[in-house]
Amino acid sequence: MELRKITVCGGGNGAQTLVPIAARNLGCPVDLYAPLGDEARRLRAGVEAHGGLEAKGAVQAMARPHCISADPAEVIPGSQVAMLVLPAFAHEETLRQIAPYLERGAWVGAMPARGGFDYCATRVLQEQSREDVILFGLQTLPWACRIEEYGRRVHVLGVKKAVDAASRPAARIGQIAPLLEQMMGLPIGAAGSLLALTLANTGQLIHPGITYGLFANWDGLPFDRAPLFYQGLDEEGAKVLAGLSDDVQAIRARLDGILDLSVVQPLHDWLLRAYGEAIADPSNLRSAFVSNSAYAGLKAPVREVVPRQFVPDFSSRYLAEDVPFGLAASRAIARLAGVETPAMDRVIAWAGGRLGRDYLDRDAGEARIPRKYGLETLEQLIAFATERG
């Protein structure tokens, strides 16, 4: 595909990392759609002062976005690809805003897709009679990255060795994967469907699982500094992660042979494949987390209640995104498939308590689950995942 222009949607860590990398690797204009608050103005000011958006650390690139706007009419027309680099709770709203301006046959992808992106995005496109748009998603963000100075510089702590992607219709992945490889500068594996990516979403295990391990028995007393998130993983926390991974493997075992779920790997295998030599001690799940240089120094989400007194921030996206757009989405698939998920149930119940939500029952419809989009049975779910388009 010969690219005239792409648009990155989002104004956070991932979006500000993708812009310079994609502009350098693709050599075409990259627009930036940042509708939240005054982010577009702050991005323009930062780019103006710094001469572009800069990624430094494990990846180095610098580029000036072609146009930065909070108005989709200014940045979406003319783009063959729109990349949603946003927390999953912003996918639906953002897609609704950009859909009227998308080129015919444009590609829209979420990076990462998280759980259930396909049902939600398909509904938005149907509502706007935009069934010509092709959807895709990546299994994760290729980088661990944090903004250092807004609109100017991001620090890339680590780069994954490879990332999987899927499309809807599923067979179109062969067309977009080479372009994503060029854009990101790393190998992109082809997943069988976006449903496979929902189950292969490792953020849904890692973020709520580690948060549970760190804070389920928290005594309510403030910390004098934020605990390390990944390097703080202890044996009990690693058991929680292993339990969540086993639940996903049980779903895979039930659906194997019906769907191509080869990308749905046990968490330890995925970690070794994604981070390779960045992991000093790959011998077990815990050691692979605590010795991963890409995770070094990353802190647990906390709030400073008084100077140098910190409490866990349970409203962070590690729970607020990864439970309703992750674990709860996978658990709903397990229910349709008749698979028990004891570790997921425990973590979802605890996280829901912290978020004031009952995602196992009363508030399940707030999560991105198949039933919310009219997929009530396993047969319907499979038919949706394998639709030819």
Q: Is residue 115 near ligand NAD by the rule CB under 6 A?
A: no
Give the footprint of ligand NAD on residues 67-96 (CB under 6 A): 85-88, 90, 93-94
Residue closest to ligand NAD, measured at CB:
12
Closest distance to ligand NAD from the beta carbon of 313 (Å):
12
Exactly one of 5, 6, 7, 12 binds ligand NAD (CB under 6 A); that residue is: 12
Exactly one of 117, 321, 336, 354 binds ligand NAD (CB under 6 A); that residue is: 321
Helix segments in 256-367, DSSP class H: 267-275, 285-290, 317-320, 328-337, 342-355
Cα 197 to Cα 88, 259, 262, distances in angstroms: 14, 12, 10
91 has catalytic annotation: no
Q: State which H helix or E strand residue 144 sits in.
A: strand 143-149
Closest distance to ligand NAD from the beta carbon of 338 (Å):
30
Q: Is residue 151 near ligand NAD by the rule CB under 6 A?
A: no
Applying CB under 6 A, the site for ligand NAD has a residue count of 26
Q: Is residue 54 near ligand NAD by the rule CB under 6 A?
A: no
Question: CA 20 to CA 62: how far, in whole Å?
Answer: 5
Cα 366 to Cα 28, 117, 361, 363, 369, distances in angstroms: 39, 14, 10, 6, 8
Q: State which H helix or E strand residue 9 sits in.
A: strand 6-9
Yes or no: say if 72 and 97 are a contact pair by the CB < 8 Å rule. Answer: yes
Closest distance to ligand NAD from the beta carbon of 220 (Å):
27
Exactly one of 70, 145, 173, 271 binds ligand NAD (CB under 6 A); that residue is: 145
Q: What is the DSSP string of 187-213?
A: -EEE-S-HHHHHHH-SHHHHHHHHHHH
Give the footprint of ligand NAD on residues 152-211 (CB under 6 A): 203
Nearest Cα to Cα of residue 276 among 263, 264, 292, 265: 292
Site for ligand NAD, rule CB under 6 A: 10-15, 34-36, 39, 85-88, 90, 93-94, 112, 114, 140-141, 144-145, 203, 317, 321
Q: Which residues are catalytic?
A: 207
